Copies of this chain bind each other. A is one copy, B any other.
Amino acid sequence: MNNQNSLNTFKFIAHRIGIDTHKHVVVYMQTNNPICRSEGFRSEAKVKVSRNSKWIIATLFVITSDILKTDEIGLSESAWEKLEVEEGQEVIVSHAEQLESFRFIRAKLFGKSFTESSFKTIMNDMVEGYYSDVQLSSFITACVDLTRKETIYLTKAMSETGRRIKWDHDHIVDKHCVGGLPGNRTSMIVVPILAAHGLTIPKTSSRAITSPSGTADTMEVIAPVDLNVDQMKKVVNKENGCIVWGGSVDLSPVDDVLVQIERALDLDSSKQLVASVLSKKLAAGSTDIIIDIPIGPTAKVRTKRAAKYLSSLFKSVGDAMDLNLDIVMTDGTQPVGRGIGPVLEARDVLAVLRGDKSAPQDLKERSLFLASKLMEFCCPHTPEEAAKTARFILESGQAFKKFEAICEAQGGMREPQLADHTFVITAKTAGMVNSIDNRLIARVAKFAGAPDSPAAGVDLHTPLGVFVEKDQPLFTIYATSKGELANALHYYDSHPEVIELGEMV
């Protein structure tokens, strides 16, 4: 990148201003300083800030109050971290020239295609933080229109931005769910089944972003998940599998940069989704992958048609990347299991693994289905054999034993504790449970405090199709404070359509 052209540089004193601008690299300066005057800098100009050989490209916001002195430059948390400077040290500020690699995006908009090497250049600039939010947004918008070939190039380029894990085994198994279903914690059951069967399955999962819990959050109430790559490899070499947080292993880090803007835009491009998922799998060294696409009116994928399109996109990119990849389409009409929120979900997972009578059968059967699909896929099993084997491993307790061993290897197993404050929501009339809105029930759990309070959330008592009497419990809200319990109830009161009961005939 050619980002220094002007020879005019200016010295400032670095000050950690304590503003968290997320991944956005921001600096603050007073209006009346030599550089703002001579370069004509206004707010939102791009500046280069350097100290010795380190430097960052940052967005400037101009200060009119006295929270900074004229010779000070305030750094946002992300700028502070990236520049690795100390309070009071001298830094050099200069004009940042236009980002070179953005011309590939301009060219795409005017009819040219992205090439493999143009994506690589763009991805490198993004990982270095050279792209501003508006430039990232323009890139994401331009990527809605990618061809299959371009999607393949993008996936490859993304996978090469961070670490790539190498394994000594031929088959590295993985599963990924496209998401949108609260309580869908099959990974925590599939991993120990397959690991117990001798397959290598190093699972990296995400934390909740907009949902009440991610698999990493749910796993964390039972065992540590913040492992680095070396620690993760050690666990996998010992136990064949792991369930760790993907954020600490630096796989396809550019994805985290892009996801933030995709979320701000609420722009769901299938191409971006496929590139995001498969770039992480490639970087993790996976070879055999099952993609689970739940379909339902309030799931991420809403129609069979959309699922088929997504499926074919996954397959063509997977083929190009030499991945063994298969798709399963599953029911996405309601949450999986009973609990929603880290501890409540962990309780369900443990009940399935321990073979409790009360364990949610849907979570169990879903996990067995996925585990047997992966066995069929990369072991010499017939479908019947695979299904039988998976069930035997789970029901005999081998899977639970393996889960315990994985937890110990990750740093020690602990028993999750539910929250103290509860409130039971009951049916106002008798009727059949006609619909459960995945998004609204997730919001009730979030208002109750999940995932920041891991013990908070929602416990569903009545799945779809069940007939309930008047006053019968529909679900219980768990919270760690009375205030949060009230918030969740308040939200439910204004959204009673969370669960809809059919009329009596």
Contact = CB atoms under 8 A, between A and B. Distances in A.
Interface of A: 6-8, 16-22, 24, 28, 31, 34, 37-40, 42-44, 61-67, 76-77, 98, 102, 106, 109-110, 132-138, 140-142, 144-145, 210, 260-261, 264-267, 269, 446-447, 449, 452, 483-484, 487, 490-491, 494
A106 B120 CA distance: 26
A109 B145 contact: yes
A356 B110 CA distance: 47
A19 B133 contact: no
A38 to B, nearest CB: 5
Contact of A40 (B17, B34, B446): B446
Contacts of A31: 20
A133 B136 CA distance: 11
A65 B67 CA distance: 12
B7 A24 contact: no
B43 A20 contact: yes
* Nearest 3 A/B pairs, CB to CB: A18-B65, A134-B137, A137-B137
Given A18-B63, A62-B20, A106 B267 contact: yes
B491 A7 contact: yes
Copies in the complex: 2
A312 B133 CA distance: 34
A490 B63 contact: no
B8 A19 contact: no
Contacts of A267: 106, 109, 138
A62 B64 CA distance: 19
Contact of A134 (B28, B37, B61, B133): B133
A56 to B, nearest CB: 17
B264 A134 contact: yes
B144 A110 contact: yes
Contacts of A20: 31, 42-43, 61-64
B141 A38 contact: no
A447 to B, nearest CB: 6
B135 A265 contact: yes
A136 B138 CA distance: 9
